[in-house]
């Protein structure tokens, strides 16, 4: 008689977003391996209620307190928590083994810190956490002996390349190469982007993502944020992190090593793969996605990014080089600019200029505390 496998207990912060939905698909496929203990979202109580009905978690939370009351009145057998503290508290529950944090912006910072301070594995999909507070997050992970497993396809790819090469200390790494799809405007020039509408920018050619990350992909800010994230995850200086445009999104990233070898991770684009890897590492588990067929793909192409047309990438490098609270200001200014574009208040080409103006007005604080980072976020949100 075989022993029953102990289930890995998971909390998903951001369960109604695109990453959260993909994570629940992973759990559906592997019901014998995973158990959903807690689910949290911002305000979509109807969608969260459906997920509660299906996965039967013991805990759930909504950031929107009014929506949380509605949820509490419509479900039974589950403890409902409310507000940002209620959402973050799910990450430190005794029953939770892994917390997947996938919420937009700096809102992911507190859940990430709660996870790490509880000594749990953090499956991190909110790249802004490391962008705004990279040193702080890495220090907390070390202090509490907690793991951070990246859920971004690019950083998961780099992590896997490191594992394959046995480069656990990263001393043999020459360069990290992050691949970018190029978004919907690959090859376009400024005059072709003047009158871009939000629905055009949201039409990503490869990935199915939320609206904010889709716009970030269109401006290449997404890749800039990933450069900052990679610097902290892998302890590699900015000058050793490059970006290359790869429209097919088959090579998810590469690592160059000191002996001239380069290792790449390749697969069909599917966010369930990095999610599952973060849940099961160091084990690999089967996943129902089409196998890679290179003959059918035919060719893989690579280009240097057009930094003049898409200056957000260089803005991210500037913030990373200067450090302090500037990456947090970059992150928040970008979040606001993207929303303004989606709301029709500014044009597509005005997104980087809005961010740059905020950065230039910032009085930088080197070696910031958590309070400094939160204050920087609040300052960047103030209306001019």
Helix locations, 62-127, DSSP H = 65-72, 83-89, 109-117
Q: Does residue 19 sit in helix, strand or coil?
A: helix
Distance from the Cα of residue 165 to its chain's centroid: 24
d(CA 131, CA 102): 14
Across 121-144, average pLDDT: 96
Per residue in 374-383, pLDDT (tens digit) is: 999 999 998 7
Across 290-315, average pLDDT: 95
Distance from the Cα of residue 123 to its chain's centroid: 10
Torsion, Cα 62 151 7 113, to 10 degrees, reads: -50
Least confident piece of the model among 5-19, 43-57, 183-197, 205-219: 205-219
Of residues 152, 150, 157, the one with CA closest to residue 264: 157
Cβ atoms 278, 149 nearer than 8 A: yes
- The pLDDT value recorded for residue 384 is 65
- Tokens (6 digits) for 234: 């892998």
d(CA 316, CA 322): 10
- The pLDDT value recorded for residue 2 is 43
Residue 187's region, left for phi above 0, alpha for psi from -120 to 50, else beta, is left
d(CA 153, CA 44): 26
* The pLDDT of residue 218 is above 60: yes
Q: How would residue 1 be classed by pLDDT, with cut points 50, 70 and 90?
A: very low
Across 65-84, average pLDDT: 96
Is the preceding peptide bond at 282 cis, omega within 30 degrees of 0?
yes
* The pLDDT of residue 233 is above 80: yes
Q: What are residue 39's DSSP bridge partners?
A: 12, 60
Q: How would residue 170 be classed by pLDDT, with cut points 50, 70 and 90?
A: low
Number of Cβ within 10 Å of residue 7's Cβ equals 15
Cβ atoms 95, 126 nearer than 8 A: no
- The pLDDT value recorded for residue 169 is 58
d(CA 155, CA 124): 10
Reduced 3-state DSSP string for 218-276: HHCHHHHHHHHHHHHHHCCCHHHEEEEECCCCCEEEEEEECCCCEEEEECCCCCHHHHH
d(CA 37, CA 34): 9
Diameter of the chain by CA atoms?
69
d(CA 333, CA 338): 9
Angle at 43 between CA 40 and CA 46, to 5 degrees: 85
Across 66-77, average pLDDT: 95
Domains of the chain: 8-150 (3.40.50.720), 164-269+304-381 (1.10.1740.10)
d(CA 337, CA 342): 9
- The pLDDT value recorded for residue 3 is 52
Number of Cβ within 10 Å of residue 50's Cβ equals 12
- Tokens (6 digits) for 334: 């970008």
Q: What is the mean pLDDT of the chain?
A: 94
Q: What Cα–Cα distance (Å) separates residue 37 from each residue in 61, 166, 272, 276?
A: 12, 34, 19, 17
- The pLDDT value recorded for residue 383 is 77
Q: How would residue 88 be classed by pLDDT, with cut points 50, 70 and 90?
A: very high
Q: Does residue 39 sit in helix, strand or coil?
A: strand
Across 244-269, average pLDDT: 94
Angle at 252 between CA 246 and CA 258, to 5 degrees: 100
Least confident piece of the model among 58-62, 162-166, 300-304: 162-166
Cβ atoms 313, 193 nearer than 8 A: no
- The pLDDT value recorded for residue 168 is 56
Across 133-146, average pLDDT: 97
Per residue in 312-361, pLDDT (tens digit) is: 999 999 999 999 999 999 999 999 999 999 999 999 999 999 999 999 99
């Amino acid at each position: 008689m075989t022993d029953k496998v102990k289930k890995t207990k998971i909390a998903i912060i951001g369960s109604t977003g695109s990453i959260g939905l993909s994570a629940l698909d992973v759990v559906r496929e592997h019901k014998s391996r995973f158990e959903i203990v807690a689910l949290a979202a911002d305000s979509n109580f109807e969608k969260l209620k459906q997920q509660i009905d299906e996965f039967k978690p013991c805990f759930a939370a909504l950031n929107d307190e009014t929506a949380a009351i509605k949820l509490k009145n419509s479900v039974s057998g589950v403890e409902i928590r409310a507000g940002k503290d209620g959402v973050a508290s799910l990450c430190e529950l005794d029953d939770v083994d892994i917390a997947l944090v996938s919420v937009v912006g700096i809102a992911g910072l507190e859940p990430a810190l709660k996870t790490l301070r509880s000594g749990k594995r953090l499956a991190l999909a909110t790249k802004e956490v490391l962008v705004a507070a990279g040193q702080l997050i890495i220090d907390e992970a070390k202090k509490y002996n907690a793991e951070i497993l990246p859920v971004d396809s690019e950083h998961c790819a780099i992590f896997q390349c490191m594992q394959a090469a046995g480069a656990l200390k990263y001393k043999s790494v020459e360069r990290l190469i992050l691949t970018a799809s190029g978004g919907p405007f690959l090859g376009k020039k400024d005059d072709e982007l003047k009158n871009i509408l939000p629905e055009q920018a949201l039409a990503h050619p490869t990935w199915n993502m939320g609206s904010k990350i889709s716009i970030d992909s269109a401006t290449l800010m997404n890749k800039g944020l990933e450069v900052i994230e990679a610097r902290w995850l892998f302890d590699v200086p900015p000058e050793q992190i490059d970006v290359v445009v790869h429209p097919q999104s088959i090579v998810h990233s590469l690592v160059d090593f000191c002996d001239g070898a380069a290792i790449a991770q390749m697969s069909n684009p599917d966010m369930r793969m990095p999610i599952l890897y973060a849940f099961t590492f160091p084990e690999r588990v089967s996943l129902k996605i089409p196998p890679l067929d290179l003959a059918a793909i035919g060719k893989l192409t690579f280009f240097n990014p057009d930094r003049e047309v898409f200056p957000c990438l260089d803005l991210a490098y500037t913030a990373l080089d200067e450090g302090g609270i500037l990456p947090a200001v970059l992150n928040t200014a970008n979040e606001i600019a993207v929303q303004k574009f989606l709301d029709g208040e500014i044009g597509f080409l005005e997104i980087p200029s809005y961010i740059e103006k905020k950065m230039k007005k910032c009085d930088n604080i080197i070696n910031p505390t958590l309070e400094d980072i939160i204050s920087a976020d609040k300052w960047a949100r103030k209306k001019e």
